[in-house]
Amino acid sequence: MKKAKVVITQNADFDLKEIADWYNTKDKKLIWVFLKDFKEKVKYISVNPLACEVRYENFRIFKKISLWHSLFLQRTQKFN
């Protein structure tokens, strides 16, 4: 299957900038963890577009999990 094109809307881009600002106030390292995770999710959607739920017309979404839960899952997967 051909890779799907992933479009980041202006609203999503604005939200990403707000998220980056918030993480920078907490811990400058966290923003890099968040951005890496975000890029991995975008790549996953582009390779597996039908694996994500369709919401709001043409928009596909991931099930929301917390950043910390995501980090925990990534760390436990590395050890297995």
Summarize pLDDT for 40-63 with one digit per residue, the tens: 888 888 887 777 666 666 666 555
Q: Could you tell me if residue 57 is left (phi over 0), alpha (psi between -120 and 50 degrees) or otherwise beta?
A: left
Share of the chain above pLDDT 70, in %: 61
Q: What burial letters (b/e) apply to 30-65, b meaning 16+ CB within 10 Å?
A: bbeebeeeeeeeeeebeeebeeeeeeeeeebeeeee
Maximal CA-CA distance, the chain: 41
Higher pLDDT, 58 or 16: 16
Q: Please give the residue that has the higher pLDDT: either 34 or 58.
A: 34
Q: What is the pTM of this model?
A: 0.61
Under DSSP, is residue 61 helix (H, G, I), strand (E, B) or coil? strand
